């Protein structure tokens, strides 16, 4: 890993792709209808191994926000974007 300008980055495009692929497999498991999160624990473990911790935290927050937006849109039938203030 490279540390530059206070940010960590992967030099290898393949490592980034492995992280994104493991995230996508985990999220796909979570999206299966009727699936319990416990069934996705192994994919979660692989996701956490493939990605730096701060990426996992970012991706988890992104997914939670996307789920929140979907709930708002499906509940209200609204077609506008809901803006949530940052803490």
What tens digit of pLDDT does each residue of 16-60 get? 999 999 999 999 999 999 888 889 999 999 999 999 999 999 999
Contacts (Cβ under 8 Å, ≥6 apart) of 17: none
Rounded to an integer, what distance in angstroms lies between the CA atom of residue 24 and that of residue 76?
A: 28
Model-level pTM greater than 0.85?
A: no
CA nearest to 47, candidates 38, 62, 57, 32: 57
Cβ neighbours around 67 below 10 Å, total: 11
Contacts (Cβ under 8 Å, ≥6 apart) of 59: 23, 51
Domain extents in the chain: 2-76
Rounded to an integer, what distance in angstroms lies between the CA atom of residue 59 and that of residue 53?
A: 10
């Amino acid at each position: 890993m490279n540390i530059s300008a206070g940010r960590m980055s992967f030099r290898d495009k393949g490592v980034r792709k492995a992280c994104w692929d493991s995230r996508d497999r985990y999220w796909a498991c979570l999206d299966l209808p009727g699936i319990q999160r416990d069934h996705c624990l192994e994919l979660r473990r692989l996701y956490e191994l493939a990605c730096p911790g701060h990426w996992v935290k970012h991706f988890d927050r992104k997914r939670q926000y996307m789920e929140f937006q979907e709930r708002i849109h499906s509940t209200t039938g609204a077609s506008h974007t809901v803006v949530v203030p940052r803490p």
